[in-house]
Amino acid sequence: MGPRPPSLLALPSYLTSQVARFGRRLLEDALDSRGLLPTHHAILTALEDFGPMSQQRLAAALDVDKSHLVGRVDRVERAGLAVRTRDPDDRRRHRVTLTPKGAALLAELRPIALASQERFLAPLDAAERETLNALLLRLLDAGDEARRSG
């Protein structure tokens, strides 16, 4: 990698995007052995964390455009990792549910994903990691609030 433009290095948004790309690449490499992308992993993780939910709610939870989510859910459904059914409370909606196969795969992937993130955060000690996570959560919350208030 060549030298980076100093003017860009002064922009926190540039720095976070570059660092996120590195972390994402490590996660992609870790998940590739199972034929999954980070977006598929995120879908399965959200279903495990929140339980069955509508595609609309899943898209909101992952901050993904609803139109882009459908193809991603198709992929995990074809793999038998999740199932889509009509929502009994509103037949116009589809509800997505994690299957036992999806839950088992997530249990296998958890240590693999954590190891990739361990490599990502290796330059930081435990206190720095905690501080980084707290600061990133604050920025994420502020961004969410700014979008809500609009």
Residue 45 has pLDDT above 90, yes or no: yes
Cα–Cα–Cα angle for 146, 16, 114, rounded to 5 degrees: 105
List C-alpha distances in Å: 138 to 132, 142, 144. Answer: 10, 6, 10
CB 55 within 8 A of CB 69: yes
Tokens of 107: 């249990």
User: Tell me, what's the pLDDT at 16?
Assistant: 95
pLDDT (mean) for 126-132: 97
pLDDT (mean) for 52-66: 94
Beta-carbon contacts of 79 under 8 Å, excluding residues fewer than 6 positions away, are: 35
Q: Which CATH number fits domain 35-111: 3.40.50.10800, 1.10.10.10, 3.40.50.300, 1.20.1090.10?
A: 1.10.10.10
pLDDT (mean) for 115-120: 95
